[in-house]
Amino acid sequence: MKVKYTDLGLISYQAAWDLQETLFRQIISEKTVVDAASREQDRLAGHLLFCEHPHVYTLGKSGAERNLLINEEMMQKKGISFFRINRGGDITYHGPGQLVGYPILNLDAFHLTIRKYIYILEEAVIRTLDSYGLNAERLEGATGVWLEPHTHARKICAIGVRASRNVTMHGFAFNVNTDLSFFQFINPCGFTNKGATSLKAETGSPGDMDQIKQRMRSHLAELIGFAWAE
């Protein structure tokens, strides 16, 4: 099975969401079409989009608006957009210096459940952080990737996924060189007693975004089990 990779660079949240929806519908449509001439291993099973966004808060369908701690006027002054979206999870922040990944995948092609898929997203981030000397972990009952989850919990990667007919969209937000001050205006993922952090904050130096993208791509391909489409 093959997955097509696209680096969108810095792109508005709305434009990326529109592209996700288009690719999402295409993958669902293709699930109903059987091409007898195509070999199984050559079939396109999805897309992986990497990008960064201008400052934006997004609130998942199960989220509470009270976790947004700033009013519309202040958001406008600070240049922050706000979207209510159709993924799971509560409120999170996207901005420059954060690696956002949107895998749009036919999980049936890889014999994956949603639970296992989310575990794999977490694992790819955990393995990437390990290469920078950071021991990241999971926190029971709280999706995402954390540092010191049982003592001084701080989230370094948020995960929120939507799935229909076992095709995914949305994905992960990995704080690499993120300006963490924007998290003070929300209760990240609905938590009032846990913080947010970044690779830069933990190591004391900026992360190489191109290097991190390559490592994340490698881990995801290995863990899910796909080759890259041209």
Q: Sign of the CA dihedral 70, 72, 77, 82?
A: positive
* Candidate list 112, 173, 189, 196, residue with the active-site label: 189
Name, in order, each residue with C-beta under 8 angstroms of 183's C-beta and a sequence gap of 6 or more: 93, 195, 196
Name, in order, each residue with C-beta under 8 angstroms of 144's C-beta and a sequence gap of 6 or more: 122, 138, 155, 157, 158, 159, 189
Structure token pair of residue 3: 């997955």
Asked whether the beta carbons of 196 and 180 are under 8 A apart, the reply is yes
Q: Would residue 189 show up in a list of annotated catalytic residues for this protein? A: yes
Structure token pair of residue 156: 């370094």
Tell me which residues are annotated as active site: 189
